DNA sequence: AAAGATTGAGTCTTCAATCTTT
DNA sequence: AAAGATTGAAGACTCAATCTTT
């Protein structure tokens, strides 16, 4: 039975929706202003960097990033065209591929992190205390 | 001076980014599944409903919604084509227009709210206590 | 038939350029 | 020249259909 949400629930929702168009888009703007690729590129590069030598298959990346499959497919196209990611044949399952980050991808990921970290610090770190940030992270984790 | 963000700050950031692709997109999906327009339409309709008889000028709507101007322009095109919003000439300043919600727009806004409220309740209300929701709203408000 | 992944066509978004009024 | 608003063209996203391998 879905009840009508109470005011606090609606206020939390509005906060999430506005954070999206506020803080998230300001971070995105800072990356762009620095001549860097969008956030989604960072996420892919970072997942692949963590995956190491063996890379990741698209469906695994999809899960990690909460992305739709068709969405990811063209995102990887762009990363591949930019030389940051490589598609390799997958021997165990010939339906799929393995995705690996390239040397250039590793370098780009590090470069992006400098601007990205500064933007996160401005948007979050400068506005919340340590303990507020911890609380926020814990509450948002409940919405997963 | 921008320091490097601490772990709690980064965790809060990741939570916001994931809430966007998780909770927000699930709400969007529920509206779509009910055959209703996207969230952005709701926001415009609601702002115009609150504005009442006098309507709102695009630049004011822009500020309220944190939208880009060119983005809003075509969004309003679609709402107008659907008969939910009307553009009227603005007498005080002939550069601009006034936007007003129509009768059909009022009805559609109410219809959307039924599905929207149920989705918010599922995504937020069912997962957080009242006091958690209040805390979350207060923390997100600090990021504005 | 189901899972992994991609693609064509249509819609929406973005950037830069434009137009009008102040 | 600046503010309010729109538009053309290019890029990104979405849905449904497709293809291959399991």
Q: Is the pLDDT of residue A38 over 90?
A: yes
Task: Return the H-helix or E-strand segment holding B88.
Answer: strand B85-89
Instruction: Give residue A4's pLDDT band: very low, low, confident or very high (50, 70, 90).
Output: confident
Q: Does this model's pTM top 0.75?
A: yes
Of A2, A134, A143, the CB nearest to B118: A2
Q: Which pLDDT belongs to residue B2?
A: 61
Whether residues B9 and A125 touch (CB distance < 8 A) is answered with yes
Please state, rounded to an integer, the average pLDDT across all residues of chain A. Answer: 95
| pLDDT tens digits along A67-104 | 889 889 999 999 999 999 999 999 999 999 999 999 99
Residue B73, Ramachandran bin (φ over 0: left; ψ between -120 and 50: alpha; else beta): alpha
Whether residues A125 and B5 touch (CB distance < 8 A) is answered with yes
Q: Which nucleotide is nearest to A40 (CA to C1')?
A: D12
Q: Which residues of chain B have pLDDT under 50?
A: none
> From A123, which residue of chain B is nearest by alpha-carbon distance?
B143
- The phi, psi pair for A84, rounded to 5°, reads -95, -20
Give percent of chain A above pLDDT 90.
92
Q: What is the dihedral of CA B121, B124, B127, B130, to 10 degrees?
A: -90
Whether nucleic acid strand D comes within 7 Å of the CB of A59, the answer is no
Per-residue 3-state assignment (H helix, E strand, C coil) for chain A? CCCCCCHHHHHHHHHHHHHHHHHHHHHHHHHHHCCCCCHHHHHHHHHHHHHHHHCECHHHHHHHHCCCHHHHHHHHHHHHHCCCEEEEECCCCCCCEEEEECHHHHHHHHHHHHHHHHHHHHHHHCCCCHHHHHHHHHHHHCCC
| pLDDT tens digits along A40-73 | 999 999 999 999 999 999 999 999 998 889 889 9
Q: What is the mean pLDDT of residues A17-37?
A: 94
Q: Which nucleotide is nearest to B90 (CA to C1')?
A: D4
């Amino acid at each position: 039975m879905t009840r009508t949400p109470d005011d606090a629930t609606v206020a939390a929702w509005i906060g999430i929706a506005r954070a999206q168009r506020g803080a998230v888009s300001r971070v995105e703007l800072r990356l762009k202003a620095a001549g860097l690729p969008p956030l989604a590129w960072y996420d892919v590069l970072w997942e692949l960097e963590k995956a190491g030598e063996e890379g990741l298959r698209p469906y695994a990346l999809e899960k990690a990033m909460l992305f739709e499959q068709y969405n990811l497919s063209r995102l990887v196209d762009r990363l591949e065209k930019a030389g940051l990611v490589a598609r390799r044949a997958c021997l165990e399952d010939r339906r799929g591929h393995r995705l690996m980050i390239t040397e250039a991808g590793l370098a780009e990921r590090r470069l992006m992190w400098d601007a990205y970290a500064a933007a996160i610090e401005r948007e979050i770190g400068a506005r919340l205390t340590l303990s507020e940030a911890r609380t926020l992270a814990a509450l948002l984790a409940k919405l997963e």
